Structure 1
């Protein structure tokens, strides 16, 4: 009886805390000396609102670009508070497309980089956190080659991976939840845009609870679009819903196109519910299920639309092999018997690509479809240098030159917003 009373008291306290949650307001026209708790006296910076807020509070953010304290290029979310963007400067209207609320650091800010543009690192088992209506764009922080890997009409050359000479690319993540901390409870990320990320657009390391990634755009990111992991070693420790997202142009880890390049991945100890997404034009696969032992996770892959993922729509492990399949393949339904797959229904292959016309950057699309990597070797054992090496007892040498037609080039951020509402019932719909 005593334990029941203690639980009831704890629940009452939790509800009381939520009832007294405060609202905070942030605008580029505000001042950090303002009270911040009314639309007429907003704070200037998100980091300041987080500093003043308490667990459960909600921070409303007006259109503008927010780059952290002293413009260091990233913001630490170290309390379980919600961030809601897309407001007009007077907070009378909210439109996440019209009122662009951005985390868009510049190349000069890379020397003070954090783990992610928004670095989540809070504790609280009963937390309820919502991140809604933000644009996470790393395109201005990346470095791109002036001429190499630049198809006609594409804004930049290829992305430069550190430590290229003179390059200050920041290969951090757009949104990152630190592995090893006790972020728990409910985390929802919705109505956001993730574009031009140098290293995984969204990576959440959750101890236990629910993670919902809903109605977002992921475009022109590197390695993986969305990756949610469970820290707790228990099947179903994290219930992960990835739904109504549009994921396109996820590039491989390196310009050789050798590995990674997945739209969304399932991980061990998670229940992954992947549904109603548009997974298109990813360098490897739209959905990856090869990470970890299949017996340590469960996957529901239903009602997703796929098209032109370069190696396959889906990749799975059927021991001891890794299979790459398209949803239109005869063997696709056989995956229902594969370990970890709980459901596999209603997935479609898009037959009419005209839905992309006027919505997707045409030059970027053509460059991606034609992207190639080539190597050329040169070896002359009788060259003067090699004859000299041989005389000195040294190994003879050749050379290898490589060329890539396109790799992780910057996608125009403004055009990424056109992808909301691209396909009814699949992918990101127009935010309400």
Structure 2
């Protein structure tokens, strides 16, 4: 009986806490939500019949209306640092509760109050019911027992950026990190964040989290100056090929580091409406966001820096209906190729079959191949014809092969943004610009890294002598002759300092990720 009484008391306390948060929206928060909703309505008018964005906008408008009524009725003072969509979060909290996560917490706690947080995001995910809200304090979280993987298997609302007592929220000052260490490389799965959700129409929100794989990547230990690939002022030598042992750790203290070929966020054919906002994806050894999915994906006001292969590579898995992907107000810089020879891959955003994509107000810069890529054509011509692709008001900057790649020309056609309106694969393209003046990012971008990228080169040399003693001997015995080849790269996927990367929020007024509010 005592157990059930305690359980009832805890449930009542959780409800009281949820209600307290629900009435804590002051005029500042409501005005902010109203402004966002107004902007959203203007966007909806501009996009006209553009797909499922209607659903999200309707939710935002509903949040404003209900939040305003609640404020008028309660007239309570608010936490000015609560998430911008606090009203929506609190309605979900009323159903699933609010759970608190802190590095100083204990996984034997219930996680239901700021004084009793759990220690790991994974633990909170495991114990929270569907639709719950997770508030995560500053710290580094990369799975139970430092496994390097967090598996999310249910719809949740996860907000990072809180201080230690959860009284303030500032994403860039109270940093919620998912930054695996070398010791986690042996237990990582397909993604640092693994989705495993089958809940169509439900929401998963990731807001205010910094994902960084830079300390768990292997960098070359070559002592040859022409092979280190480390331009002056750059933090590390070049990245090693997957499976090659080298230097690793925050200070490159380990000489036995190996890189796992894992994405930062692996979708795993999940079915859920996914919203990512105010996040950072840094130093990804194999894609930032990858995989098959069903649902509405919205990625907004986030940065993607130093991603090998591509930053965004997502494909809709519904054979009949295209899945909407809205990619807006993001900054994507330094997308690297598969290998150090720079021959293939190295894209910012890839348009893939099964998706309807809307790209607006992004910055795509410093891609080894192209800022955006439309070279995957659906083999079903009717399904290909049904795809809806819109690219508006984006900035393109120092993409080495082109701003856009499309099929044709033997090895793809390279297209500048000024010619986007000529491309049949784009249903609407306007307001896109290509800039070449690096000074627009002065003081925001790592200048040593940028200079190294601009001058990045690859070379090969061979040494083959058919008349050498070794080859003469091999010929006599009917064996193949041998030679050697040496390849060098002046730079390849070197680690970008994560603190410097955060300075890219707000780097360019009106384009790319702005300072989180």
Cα deviation for residue 321 of structure 1 reads 7.4
Which of residues 193, 197, 203 in structure 2 aligns to 1:128? 203
In the superposition, relative to structure 1, how do residues 375 and 348 fare at CA in structure 2: closer, same or farther (>3 Å)?
same
Normalising by structure 1, report the TM-score.
0.91
Partner of 2:214: 139
Output the CA distance in 2 between the equivalents of 1:268 and 1:118: 23
Output the CA distance in 2 between the equivalents of 1:213 and 1:319: 32
Cα deviation for residue 296 of structure 1 reads 5.2
Output the CA distance in 2 between the equivalents of 1:167 and 1:35: 37
Cα deviation for residue 332 of structure 1 reads 3.6
Output the CA distance in 2 between the equivalents of 1:253 and 1:37: 44
Partner of 1:230: 316
In the superposition, relative to structure 1, how do residues 198 and 321 fare at CA in structure 2: closer, same or farther (>3 Å)?
closer
Q: Spell out the pairing of 1:104-253 with structure 2 (5 A cutoff).
A: 104-146=179-221, 147=223, 148-165=228-245, 166-179=256-269, 183-207=270-294, 209-236=295-322, 238-253=323-338
Output the CA distance in 1 between the equivalents of 2:439 and 2:450: 13
Output the CA distance in 2 between the equivalents of 1:390 and 1:156: 44
Output the CA distance in 1 between the equivalents of 2:436 and 2:169: 35
Partner of 1:10: none
Is 1:90 matched up with 2:177?
no
Which of residues 471, 478, 495 in structure 2 aligns to 1:393? 478
Output the CA distance in 2 between the equivalents of 1:32 and 1:223: 37
Partner of 1:275: 360
Output the CA distance in 2 between the equivalents of 1:349 and 1:173: 29
Cα deviation for residue 234 of structure 1 reads 2.2
Cα deviation for residue 89 of structure 1 reads 0.8
Cα deviation for residue 319 of structure 1 reads 8.9
Deviations 1:34-59 (A, max 9, x none): 22111122111111111111111111
SS of equivalent residue, structure 1 residue 324? strand
Cα deviation for residue 105 of structure 1 reads 0.6
Do the aligned residues in 2 keep the contact of 1:269 with 1:296 (CA within 8 Å)?
no
Partner of 1:317: 407
Do the aligned residues in 1 keep the contact of 2:390 with 2:429 (CA within 8 Å)?
yes
Is 1:376 matched up with 2:466?
no
Partner of 1:301: 391
Do the aligned residues in 2 keep the contact of 1:117 with 1:172 (CA within 8 Å)?
yes
Aligned positions, number: 407
Do the aligned residues in 1 keep the contact of 2:351 with 2:373 (CA within 8 Å)?
yes
Output the CA distance in 2 between the equivalents of 1:78 and 1:332: 39
Do the aligned residues in 1 keep the contact of 2:197 with 2:272 (CA within 8 Å)?
no
Is 1:43 matched up with 2:118?
yes
Output the CA distance in 1 between the equivalents of 2:411 and 2:461: 31
Partner of 1:334: 422
Normalising by structure 2, report the TM-score.
0.76
Q: Spell out the pairing of 1:9-48 with structure 2 (5 A cutoff).
A: 19-48=94-123
User: Which runs of 5 or more residues in structure 1 are unaligned?
Assistant: 1-15
Bigger relative contact order, structure 1 or 2 (CA pairs below 8 A, ≥6 apart): 1
Output the CA distance in 2 between the equivalents of 1:318 and 1:297: 19
Deviations 1:280-304 (A, max 9, x none): 1111111111112353522101110
Cα deviation for residue 318 of structure 1 reads 5.5
Cα deviation for residue 126 of structure 1 reads 2.4
User: Which runs of 5 or more residues in structure 2 are unaligned?
Assistant: 1-90, 246-255, 379-383
Q: Spell out the pairing of 1:405-416 with structure 2 (5 A cutoff).
A: 405-416=490-501
Partner of 1:359: 444
Do the aligned residues in 1 keep the contact of 2:141 with 2:178 (CA within 8 Å)?
yes
Partner of 1:262: 347
Partner of 2:428: 343
Do the aligned residues in 2 keep the contact of 1:107 with 1:170 (CA within 8 Å)?
no
Which structure has the highest helix share of the two? 2
